[in-house]
Structure 1
């Protein structure tokens, strides 16, 4: 089995832990080693019975000596990118919930989390370190660049393209063929009917730019 660490010990780590357990119920795949968090005050914290065992520096040292696998359970794509840069020798796994539907014609990078009841259709391209949360739907030919976060209940129609480090909020919809710029935030429940050509926060129906973006403001870092 693969020695697996989960990076992050906040709320989303609970979903990822349970996903690992569900995957192992179907086939023993991962030997879960514990949680990683750079907040040193959380060392020893327990999440669903599992322990925070160290920081990314600790994991980096382990990866120099052993075949280590990991997944990042942090919603903010900019944090995921920073962590990846710190851990060049870690093997990033893809976690796909057993209740997700993934086309055999879709293409996946590495370090991807796909939640329960997600539907990914043919010729979708999912970049490294993307998170696609519970109940979201990707139509045919959707492209997610690296470090994109798709919150629960999102609907992306066919041929949508989402740029690097963008976040699509809970229940948002993007109509077919639209492009979302890098580092954009689409607010919860927004409906995107035009291309998003400038980064920033977009909200409403139809979605309009309301301010400069700060994914940290809207995303749970852990």
Structure 2
């Protein structure tokens, strides 16, 4: 007698375009192998009680409800800083994050994905790379051998990392950005769309162009410090 596979209950935090893509990824996973019982989305914007089919899942209420639902969660928000805040809220409510990998993504057998990661359609992760907590690798982006990405990083569609690159927590790579092998980007730095990053970037900086040059340096980010895997390094 075959035992039926038990689906894991899941909610998506967010209901914008990024969340809709993530919801589609959940449906794509289920089409290959039923995995998730998608309860719906939680969002703090003005939403109708029953959103239209473009969302792909029922609207359940504001994100503060995450602790009231017996389900795992994934954050469908493109901004890494907002993902961090949502993650903190859900963690305080003792919820467990889920990891969603679109079935058309290519993930090497020795890649390590920490909780909450989202790997979108046609993205590529090769061997011995590490993705920190709630890092998002968007459509067609690629992560090469021995790359280490911290928590809450965001690779926009088409972004590419050479081997042995390091992205500290919260780094954002814009559309079609390229990072050369061995380059390190400091925490919460941003590389603009189409940039080619050829040398290390200081934390909080914004770099643009080819080769990438500093456009501005952001004020030091205040908040809980984490290491590259999203674990707390100081007391809350």
- TM over 0.5: same fold? yes
Tell which has more relative contact order, 1 or 2 (C-alpha 8 A, sep 6+).
Answer: 1
CA distance in 2, matches of 1:154, 1:19: 19
Please state whether the residue corresponding to 2:116 is helix, strand or coil: coil
Deviations 1:161-217 (A, max 9, x none): 001011000100010000000010100000001110242211000101112449xxx
1:53 aligns with 2:56: no
Which of 170, 177, 185 lines up with 1:180 in the alignment? 185
Please state whether the residue corresponding to 2:58 is helix, strand or coil: strand
Which of 206, 210, 213 lines up with 1:201 in the alignment? 206
Please state whether the residue corresponding to 2:44 is helix, strand or coil: coil
Structure 1: where are the runs of 5+ without partners?
A: 215-222
Please state whether the residue corresponding to 1:50 is helix, strand or coil: coil
1:24 aligns with 2:30: yes
Does the aligned pair in 2 maintain the 1:185–1:213 contact within 8 Å? no
Which of 2, 15, 23 lines up with 2:21 in the alignment? 15
Does the aligned pair in 1 maintain the 2:185–2:202 contact within 8 Å? yes
CA distance in 1, matches of 2:23, 2:218: 30
1:76 aligns with 2:79: yes
Which consecutive segments of 4 or more residues in structure 1 shift more than 6 A? none
- May I ask how many residue pairs the two structures share in their alignment? 209
Does the aligned pair in 1 maintain the 2:20–2:56 contact within 8 Å? no
Does the aligned pair in 2 maintain the 1:150–1:168 contact within 8 Å? yes
Which of 130, 134, 139 lines up with 2:139 in the alignment? 134
Structure 2: where are the runs of 5+ without partners?
A: 1-6, 220-236
Q: CA deviation at 1:155?
A: 1.0
| Coordinate RMSD, CA, aligned | 1.4
